[in-house]
Amino acid sequence: MALPENPRPEASVQLYTLADAFTADMGGSLDKLAAIGLRNVEAFDFVRRPDEIRAALDASGLASPTGHAPLLSDELWTPDGSIPTPAPEVVFEAAAKIGMTTVIDPFVAPERWFTADGVADIADRLNRLIDVAAGFGLSVGYHNHAQEFVADFDGKTAFERFVALTDERVAVELDLYWAIVGGQDATGLVSLLGDRLVAVHVKDGIAPAVNPFGPDAAEFGSASLDQRRPGEGDVPLAEALRAGTAVKYAVIEYDNAPGEVFADIAASYAFLTEGGFVR
């Protein structure tokens, strides 16, 4: 008897991709996403405006099952200077209002990934939040960039060490593009993470020659990234998506959209649907 195929994830989109449009016209932007065919989004910068975001999502017929918010850093950088991050309880209360199931920390400063003690601290902080989040009906997770793949500890990357040190209830969201920027086999990582992997960020592009988060790299901004529509870059998206065993969400994202942002999102959604990668 043939074994059943792994369940396909649902499509989503990280709202950071359309940050400018979302800020200018929240409702109109969400309506455009719904018109493309999306039913889920991944919210960012939601803690200060949960009621507004929830109302706009409801009006557009969209849900935000996952969202990004800082959980593991004492301060958050802004163009106006660093500010204290909200208490986890404040983050979780806002997430629950929006209807999320998982709150994901999207970025921990590179230097904290370069020592064994730094990695252990990140893992410990996240482990301590599991039960706090559960009190709000939520789980917690982490989303990578490329700084997690610079340091090596006994033949394991900082990212692999982090995964080993975190409770299995901590979700992992793997950014496939940033994994290859960090010199990793994205498909192999998907397989390695197994059922811990609940979401992937789907984006394509050309990986820079040097990890931009490494200690010897020059300063860079997202505008320098050569990101492209699915199938036009270095990321083995099809293979990686097929390797997932328990991925719930395939989240479209561009840090630097190559063209008109809604057209780029539509192209990514078409890749996912026409390829049969999502349900």
24 burial level (CB within 10 Å; 0-12, 13-18, 19+): exposed
CA atoms within 13 A on the CB side of 65: 14
CA 92 to CA 71: how far, in whole Å? 10
Q: Is residue 175 part of a domain?
A: yes
Rg (CA), the chain: 18
The boundaries of the domain holding residue 267 are: 11-21+71-85+106-274
| CATH number of domain containing 131 | 3.20.20.150
Q: Dihedral through CA 183, CA 187, CA 188, CA 193, nearest 10?
A: 110
pLDDT for the residue 214: 85
239 in a structural domain: yes
- How do residues 21-31 score in pLDDT, each as one tens digit? 999 999 999 99
Name the stretches of the chain with pLDDT < 70: 1-5, 77-83, 218
Residue 57 lies in a domain: no
The per-residue pLDDT for 82 is 65
The whole-number pLDDT of residue 80 equals 56
Q: For residue 206, is it within any domain?
A: yes
* Strands 197-202 and 204-206, bridge-based pairing: unpaired
Look at residue 52 and tell me if it is in a domain.
no
Predicted confidence at residue 5, as pLDDT, reads: 64
Whether residue 51 lies inside any domain: the answer is no
Query: What pLDDT is stored for residue 4 in this prediction?
Result: 44
pLDDT at 147: 95
In order of 40, 77, 94, 253, the CA distances from 121 in angstroms are 32, 20, 25, 28
- The per-residue pLDDT for 79 is 47
Residue 94 lies in a domain: no
Asked, for residue 45, whether it belongs to a domain, the answer is no
Predicted local confidence at residue 118, as pLDDT:
98
The pLDDT assigned to 209 comes to 87
Question: Residue 6's pLDDT is what?
Answer: 72
Number of domains the chain contains: 1
